[in-house]
Structure 1
Amino acid sequence: MSVRKNIAEPNGVFFITLTCARWLPLFKITDGYAAVYKWFDYLKQQGHHVSGYVIMPSHVHALVAFSTTSKSINAIVGNGKRFMAYELVRLLESNGNHDILRQLAEWVNATDRMKNKKHEVFEPSFDKKECYSLRFMEQKANYIHMNPCKDGLAILPEDYVHSSARYYYTGLQGVYPVITYLELQDIDLSRSQALKGRDE
């Protein structure tokens, strides 16, 4: 479901999709995968947990367990999108991708332009599904990990670098360390567990 309305739940496990504007492959063009990992770092510092992810050329799928904090889940995701947008624009500028920057500028609607928004880097809304059961989490984790194979970017899920599949399939952490959805069972998401610098 594409959402603009607030997520009422203060915590929970969510399957989230963030899509680049008009499906442009901005992560690939900029080699901007680190922007997503920096956002994941921030989530962990705030006591949340990354349980699965894949960064595709034009979008990100993530399985995130949000603990209760002072910020709403919508605000957390919205702030993450803003941070990643700034990072991707910075990379486009430093790489001299002026045509793409002009395109992103043209896509900003009049209302946002009045608020001084300069580039439309992501689609305005994000997709989310709350994961109520282990079976649903497993289904979403499998979907995440098979995404590169379906798009012809990898033969085996664990071969795609920007994914948590390696940990799920081999037990070895990949580029970014995660915990599995099974490990989430031991975590109480109703209480903030933020520990600055803690590595999950």
Structure 2
Amino acid sequence: MSEFLKANTEDAPYFITLTTVGWIDIFTRQTYCHELIKNLQFCQQERGLEIYAYVIMSSHIHMIVRRQVQHGLLSHLLRDFKSATAKKLIKLINENPEESRKGWLMHLFKYYANVEKQNSELMFWQKTSHPMELFSRKMIDQKLRYIHWNPVKAGIVLEPHQYLFSSACPESSLVVLDAY
């Protein structure tokens, strides 16, 4: 991936978006959302990831994040996170007896791996995380509002705090830091 599309500025907060290949609606099932959260919690505890805001939508996740300098570059963590979660989520999909879309999903993951000339047989995430370095409080506020209002604009809930898989929700199981 081009260095231009990576989060390489040390100690800087970034707005990032991780998107499934083909914008496939994977995170319509809570099991898959919980797996993402579990992996994000691991990155917080063991890999120096600081999360300031997040929302898991049906085909993507938006976050404002930063990585502690002593742990290395955020782009390296995102690469590893995407690799690990892709493997775990594909395994969950394959082993989920309630997953009626299993064959179709595996076909799409294989198709995108071939189209993108990946080294693996299956591709879960799109290549880039579309990182945007946040230089000011104004930018942080704008992205924070965008993240929290995403489920409202999608017609899923009426208010941001009602969406369980968002830092706007008081019942969210993923701890986030104050952006200020």
| Bin for the TM-score computed over the shorter chain | 0.7 to 0.9
Gap runs ≥5 in structure 1: 167-171, 183-200
1:159 corresponds to which of 159, 162, 175: 162
SS of the aligned residue for 2:9 comes to coil
Structure-2-length-normalised TM-score:
0.87
Q: Once the two structures are superposed, what CA deviation does each residue of 1:119-164 show, in whole Å capped at 9, x if it has no partner? A: 1111111111111111211111110000000001110000000000
Residue 57 of structure 2 aligns with an amino acid whose one-letter code is: M
**Counterpart residue number, 2:20:** 20
**Counterpart residue number, 2:136:** 133
2:111 corresponds to which of 106, 109, 126: 106
Which whole-Å CA distance do the structure 2 matches of 1:99 and 1:143 have between them?
31
Does structure 1 retain, via aligned residues, the 8 Å contact 2:164–2:171?
no
Gap runs ≥5 in structure 2: none
Which whole-Å CA distance do the structure 2 matches of 1:83 and 1:181 have between them?
27
Question: Percent of pairs identical after alignment?
Answer: 24
**Counterpart residue number, 2:42:** 42
Does structure 1 retain, via aligned residues, the 8 Å contact 2:26–2:32?
yes
Are 2:88 and 1:92 equivalent residues in the alignment?
Answer: no
| Paired residues, number | 172
- CA RMSD in angstroms comes to 1.9
**How far does residue 30 in structure 1 lie from its aligned partner after superposition?**
7.0
Does structure 1 retain, via aligned residues, the 8 Å contact 2:7–2:133?
no
**How far does residue 43 in structure 1 lie from its aligned partner after superposition?**
2.4
- Bigger Cα Rg: 1
Structure-1-length-normalised TM-score:
0.79
**Counterpart residue number, 2:151:** 148
Does structure 2 retain, via aligned residues, the 8 Å contact 1:4–1:126?
no
Does structure 1 retain, via aligned residues, the 8 Å contact 2:67–2:73?
no
**Counterpart residue number, 1:64:** 65
Residue 125 of structure 2 aligns with an amino acid whose one-letter code is: F
Which whole-Å CA distance do the structure 1 matches of 2:54 and 2:137 have between them?
16
**Counterpart residue number, 1:33:** 33
Which whole-Å CA distance do the structure 1 matches of 2:30 and 2:24 have between them?
11
SS of the aligned residue for 2:174 comes to coil
